[in-house]
Each structure stands twice: as structure tokens, then as C-alpha cells.
Amino acid sequence: MDSIQIHGGVALQGKVRIQGSKNAALPILAGTLLTKETSYIRNCPKIADVYGMINLLKSLGCHVSWEESGIRVNAKDICRGEMQGEAITGMRSSLCLLGALLGRCGEVVMEYPGGCVIGERPIDLHLSALSKMGVVFTEEQGRIRANARKLCGAHIKLSVASVGATENILLAAVMAQGETLIEGAAREPEVVALCYFLRCCGAVIEGIGSSRLHITGNRLLHGADFMVPSDRIVAGTYLFAAVATGGNVLLEAAPYTQMEAVLNVAEKMGAQCIAASEGLYVQAGERPMAVSQLRTAPYPGFPTDLQSMALAVLTTSEGQCRIEETIFENRFRVVEPLREMGADIQVCDAHRVIVKGVEKLHGAAMEAKELRGGAALVLAGLMAEGESIITDCKYIYRGYENICKDLRELGARIVSV
Ligand code: UD1
């Protein structure tokens, strides 16, 4: 079931429920390591990265079970911080186990984390911040060894508001001795969710949601029962799928308060978005209108993870759009397959493209090269005339619990084959 087959041209209609957030669930699951008590994490999406995180937790000695509505984790028996294998090298967010394990065990040996190939994705900010907190890093046969005889609070100024680095520092700081101040912290909703989870466990964190986080460390944390928020990127993907096809949908449980920049773009494209207690109603125009400029930015700006989907929609818009990707290089790998479908896209450099809307795309055979770019190709397939086949969809399934079933519920002719 590694491929997706789509017969395009259906305007999406109906309702679909939005899954729990991948990027919130992963660091929260890492956070369950910080206490000897049991935590219950609800609304985790059933996706490969979450299964990978569960395997890592188990390999560290945690007792983990997936029950009806959540994952139960007990980390009372963990004694060593050694991690290796595919779950580390294939998943960027395995990196947040570094901060959590340093907090819990004081020593970690791990392989370099992997993840989607969407740029260089260095880890220098993680390492320099943790070094400031007393961690000594050495490299050993291509692996990282981290030692913290005494983890201390520190004043950390992040030069880039890195989501992963902010999460790693938080996870270490709640266990460190003394106070930690993070300036230039990422403000993404997933960082906020981690802060609230840690607070539920008894951590003291002030400034939640701002770029200045203050943590009072060295508390004895306890277990928590916590609900992962809905996935704003999945909601945004289906929102753009509706816009792309001239659809009329209800995205149940969509976290619209976290989606302001996305809703602004969708509205400029001609969609009407109405927030209600049950979710987000989207009524799209027949053909999307172009937005003149689209620029990705850290939250609350337009998310880099939805840039490829917006690009796909714009290929058939009325007009021209200049897209600037400010977070990652390599986010334009979808340009080539979209061109094969008839799109008119000019690549200016690694960070900028100009999209000129064409009347229609036609179906094609394509390969998903990464998670969000792969989802963008699904959108292009929904818009195109005729049949599209997307191969190597394992990347897409890393972030979407059931993209084919969800879109079928909205009337799309899409199957995994
Ligand atoms: C997280 C998300 C990813 C999202 C990204 C930006 C997870 C699992 N992934 O990735 O989906 O696209 O935030 O919203 O939550 N950087 C450095 N040095 C570092 C770390 C980062 O230079 O040590 C740079 C990166 O190259 C990038 C920028 O900082 O240009 C932002 O990256 P970051 O926020 O760290 O992304 P991730 O946490 O990897």
C-alpha cells in the first residue's frame, strides 16, 4: 500500500474529523520520561512517527500501552539513556528525547536524528543551549554522547526561534537546578502544548505562548492525563484541498484559533471560512484566486509545513503569486512533479518561486519525496483532470493517519494501492 491513486476533478463536500497533532504528541511523549508516575496522553495520532516514539520509549525501559483513547506511559524503570536504530535516524523529533533523558538520567548516547529531507536541519542550537546548562558533548563513532553531572538552569538566547531547540531546553530545564530563561523561544502551538503538559505534571513555567519562557527547575514531577490538541497542519491540508477543488466542507475539531495566517490566505484565495464550536466550515469559490505574495514565517506567520499545499492550490489560481520560503531550503521539491502536471512555476532561487496560475492540471505519475510535499501532490491530484499515481507514500503516512479515507469521506476518488 505504498502508492496513492487519485481520479481528480471532484469538489470536496461533507465533513471530516481532524486527528491529533503529530508535532505536539511527540515532545509530550518524550516528556513522560521526566516522571516515575504514569501519564495518559489522549488524542495521539496513529502514525509511523508516534509508533517510532513508542518503540524508543520501550527500548529505554518504559512501559507503554496504547489503549482506546490514549497512550499510557510509565517510565519508573528507565535506567539508561542509550538510543539507536531507525526510530532515531529516521525521525527528527527523536532529538527531544535528548533533553528529557538528560533531565532524567544525566547521560545519553544517541545516533544523529534524521527526519524529512527539507533542508540542512542542523542541531547546533540544541547542543549549544544544553552545553550552557552544563552538558558536555563528545562524538563517539558517529554517535553523540552527552553527559550532565549536574544540569543547571541558564540564560539562553536563541538566535533562531527553533521549535525543536525550545522543546529540548524546556524538557531539560524543568529538571535542572535553578532557573532557566529562554529568550527568542519558538511560540508555535506545539511548544505551548508541551508547556501545558509539563505544567500539568507540576512544572513551573511562565510566559507560555511568548518568546520569553521562564522555567523554575528541580521540581518532582508527577504523571498527568493530557489531551493532545488537533493537528493544525492536517486541518490546513484539508482546508487547501477544499479550496483547490471548489469544495464545501466542515473540518471537525480544526484548531482554527491557531490558524489565523492560514485562514487569511484561504480567504484571499476566495474561500469563506467560518469558525463554529464543532469546527471550521470552508466554502470555496469555483476557481482559487491568486494571492500576490506568500511568505512563510515562524508562528503566528504562515507555516512552512503548509507552503507546499498552498503552492499546489496556486498552480490553478487566477493570477500570479510569488512564494518565499524563509524557514527551510529544499521545500520546493514539489515544483518538478507539479510542472509535469502542467503547472507554470519559475524557480528564482532556493527560497523563492513565482507561480502563474494555469486553467487546469492533468494527472501524472509522481513520487512523494517528503511528508508535506507528498501531501501537496495529493492535493494536485485532486485538482487534476484524469488519473494520478503517487508512489513512495510512506512519507505521507508519517504525518497523516488516514489521508485517503479522510478525503474519501469528503467525496474524493482516492485509494491507496
Ligand atoms: C519543527 C517541526 C516541523 C516544522 C518546523 C518549523 C516537529 C517534529 N517538526 O521542526 O514540522 O516545519 O518546526 O515550524 O515539530 N535550526 C538551526 N539550528 C538548530 C535547529 C534549527 O539552524 O539547531 C534552523 C533550521 O535549519 C530552520 C529553523 O532553525 O531553518 C527552524 O527549525 P526548527 O524550528 O528547529 O524546526 P524543527 O524543530 O526541526
3-state helix/strand/coil string of the chain: CCCEEEECCCCCEEEEECCECHHHHHHHHHHHHHCCCEEEEECCCCCHHHHHHHHHHHHCCCEEEEECCEEEEECCCCCCCEECCHHHHCCHHHHHHHHHHHHHHCEEEEECCCCCCCCCCCCHHHHHHHHHCCCEEEEECCEEEEECCCCECCEEECCCCCHHHHHHHHHHHCCCECEEEEECCCCCHHHHHHHHHHHHCCCEEECCCCCEEEEECCCCCCCCEEECCECHHHHHHHHHHHHHHCCEEEEECCCHHHCHHHHHHHHHCCCEEEEECCEEEEECCCCCECCCEEEECCCCCECHHHHHHHHHHHCCCECEEEEECCCCCCCCCCHHHHHHCCCEEEEEECCEEEEECCCCCECCEEECCCHHHHHHHHHHHHHCECEEEEECCHHHHCCCCCHHHHHHHCCCEEEEC
Using the mean position of ligand 1's atoms as its centre, give its distance from the Cα of residue 6 in Å.
31
Of 231, 193, 218, which Cα lies nearest the Cα of 28?
193
Tens digit of pLDDT at every position of the chain (417 positions) = 799 999 999 999 999 999 999 999 999 999 999 999 999 999 999 998 999 999 999 999 999 999 988 999 999 998 778 887 776 777 777 888 999 999 898 889 988 776 555 456 788 999 999 999 999 999 888 788 999 988 999 999 999 999 999 999 999 999 999 999 999 999 999 999 999 999 999 999 999 999 999 999 988 999 999 999 999 999 999 999 999 999 999 999 999 999 999 999 999 999 999 999 999 999 999 999 999 999 999 999 999 999 999 999 999 999 999 999 999 988 899 999 999 999 999 999 999 999 999 999 999 999 998 999 999 999 999 999 999 999 999 999 999 999 999 999 999 999 999
Mutating to test ligand 1, I would choose from 118, 123, 162, 370 the residue with most ligand atoms within 8 A of its C-beta, which is 162
Per-residue pLDDT, 117: 56
Atom of ligand 1 nearest to the CA of 372: 11
- Name the catalytic one among 62, 96, 116, 393: 116
* Ligand 1 binding pocket includes 162 (Cβ within 6 Å): yes
- Beta carbons of 228 and 43 less than 8 angstroms apart: yes
In what order do the strands lie in the sheet containing 70-74?
63-67, 70-74, 38-42, 225-227
Whole-angstrom distance, CA of residue 217 vs CA of residue 280? 39
* Ligand 1 binding pocket includes 32 (Cβ within 6 Å): no
* Ligand 1 binding pocket includes 270 (Cβ within 6 Å): no
Per-residue pLDDT, 120: 61
Atom of ligand 1 nearest to the CA of 161: 34
Whole-angstrom distance, CA of residue 352 vs CA of residue 348? 5
Per-residue pLDDT, 115: 55
Using the mean position of ligand 1's atoms as its centre, give its distance from the Cα of residue 46 in Å.
23
Per-residue pLDDT, 85: 73
Per-residue pLDDT, 225: 98
Q: What angle do CA 199, 203, 205 make, to 5 degrees?
A: 75
Using the mean position of ligand 1's atoms as its centre, give its distance from the Cα of residue 286 in Å.
36
Is 273 one of the annotated active-site residues of the chain?
no
C-alpha cell at 316: 490553478
* Ligand 1 binding pocket includes 165 (Cβ within 6 Å): yes
Using the mean position of ligand 1's atoms as its centre, give its distance from the Cα of residue 164 in Å.
6
* Ligand 1 binding pocket includes 163 (Cβ within 6 Å): yes
